[in-house]
Amino acid sequence: MRPLSLYIHVPFCTRRCPYCSFYHVHDSAARMRTTVAALVREIRAALAQTGGNRTLHTVFVGGGTPTVLGQELLRDLFGAVAPWTSTEDTREITVEVNPEDVTAELLDVLASLGVNRVSVGMQSMSPTGQATLGRCTPETNRRALSSVADRFENFSVDVLLGVPGESTGEVTDTLTVALEFRPPHVSAYCLERGGDVDAATGQFFESVDPEALAPAYLEACRLLAARGYTHYEVSNFAQPGRESLHNCAYWTGSDYVGVGPGAHSFVDGRRFSNPPSLQQYLGRPRHNPLDGRVFDARDDEAVRLERLMLGLRTRTGLPRAACRCDDTEIRTLHDEGLLECFDGNRVRLSDSGYLILDEILFRIDARAAGNHRT
């Protein structure tokens, strides 16, 4: 039976970070109660329809800021998930947390609900960088990481690269502080446009210097490799055996169900999503909580190109046969330090290659290049 993963999107935040492109709204007690009730209905309906008797392999609760829900609503949410989890088969249950929300009580509550992995949105240890991002102080980051490291064996730290006004040296300092707490996993994301609310972030991204991203990214790759982390996906680094199982489901074509406004799903080869609108989400009929899903109408060629792109994102790479180019192009990419050949018949990107992934996709696949030109 194929593994099944669940993503729960909690769309509430206490404030809007200027760079965030994920769908979110301002929190309020009444809306949070109503939304959790709707999430519970969708979880039950979606897993009954899709999962049947399948046990969830991974669960990821993100947002937004899931921890703004408070203990009671978090218990309601996890109560809906519990029938599809087990201590034997459910390998990973992750919740995103903001550093300023971290308390011993919160971490104890999460652990009591079965959470065995926490993702901490550290972002930066530069006071200027954190102010630019609208985030907490570096001291708050330190306290949060210390508490999480004391309570959870498995946790991840998020770092942002390309913060306006932040130097490569400050990126090094941020990662050095994070590594003091020995996180099993680090995500280093380059600031870039995208997501469901791109228009709201446009002004911020006008100040992001694309030329500053490359040295910051390569420095992160260098430092993390030197500390024993495997660069297993374009933005993700892990100690051996500590890769994010949930995120790997996205990149390897495993089935996953997304619930909540703006959440995406991939089941039995079909993609579908919920519109990024809390109003539409709460307007669904109670007897049909799956109403309003939008199904992807892409053709087989678009699906093939997506698989090619996902393969290029990861350390496992692609079979050479999947590249629609001649050996001369492969050799050229290799000689330019952008592509590595391994295991006799596979290729993958180098750290430098990850920086221009889209360009390499076009170079190894004539159809991709043709679609790009049109």
Residue 10 lies in a domain: yes
Cα 303 to Cα 16, 152, 183, 273, 324, distances in angstroms: 34, 38, 35, 16, 15
Q: Do 128 and 199 belong together in one domain?
A: yes
| Residue 279, domain member (yes or no) | no
Geometric angle at alpha carbon 51, from 35 and 77, rounded to 5°: 25
Kindly state whether residues 198 and 331 are assigned to the same domain.
no
pLDDT computed for residue 327 by the predictor: 92
Residue 184 shares a structural domain with residue 306: no
Residues 277-283 have a mean pLDDT of 96
Q: What are phi and psi of 346, to 5 degrees?
A: -125, 155
Burial class (CB in 10 A: 0-12, 13-18, 19+), 206: exposed
Token pair listed for 340:
């590595």
Question: Inter-axis angle of helices 357-364 and 366-373, to 10 degrees?
Answer: 120
User: For residues 22 and 189, what is the distance between their CA atoms, to the nearest angstrom?
Assistant: 14
Burial of 147 (0-12, 13-18, 19+ CB in 10 A): buried
pLDDT at 366: 62
Task: List the domain range (segments joined by +) for residue 344.
Answer: 302-373
From CA 31, how far away is CA 214, in angstroms rounded? 41
The answer on 330 and 194 residing in a single domain is: no
Residue that is last in its domain, among 207, 231, 250? 250
Indicate the pTM of the whole model: 0.94
Quick one: 115 and 28 in the same domain? yes
Residue 170 and residue 34 share a domain = yes
Q: Among 220, 250, 280, which residue terminates a domain?
A: 250
- Of 228, 250, 272, which closes a domain? 250
Q: Does any domain span residue 83?
A: yes
DSSP annotation string for 332-356: HHHHTTSEEEETTTEEEE-HHHHTT
* 68 HSE (CA, 13 A, CB side): 23
pLDDT the model gives residue 211? 85
Residue 290 lies in a domain: no
Closest alpha carbon to 298 in 275, 271, 324, 267:
271
Looking at the structure, tell me whether residues 222 and 311 fall in a common domain: no
Do 95 and 219 share a domain, yes or no? yes
Q: How far apart are CA 91 and CA 108, in angstroms?
A: 19
Both 229 and 327 in one domain: the answer is: no
Give the total number of structural domains in the chain: 2
The verdict on 112 and 234 lying in the same domain is yes
Residue 221 lies in a domain: yes
Claim to verify: residue 14 and residue 135 sit in the same structural domain: yes
- Tell me the pLDDT tens digit for each residue of 156-206: 999 999 999 999 999 999 999 999 999 999 999 999 876 655 666 778 888
Establish if 263 belongs to a structural domain. no
Q: Is residue 286 part of a domain?
A: no
Whether residue 137 is contained in a domain is answered as yes
Arithmetic mean of pLDDT, 261-272: 94
- Do both 64 and 201 map to the same domain? yes
pLDDT, tens only, 283-314: 999 999 999 999 998 888 888 899 999 999 99
Residues 352-370 pLDDT 10s: 999 999 999 999 996 554 5
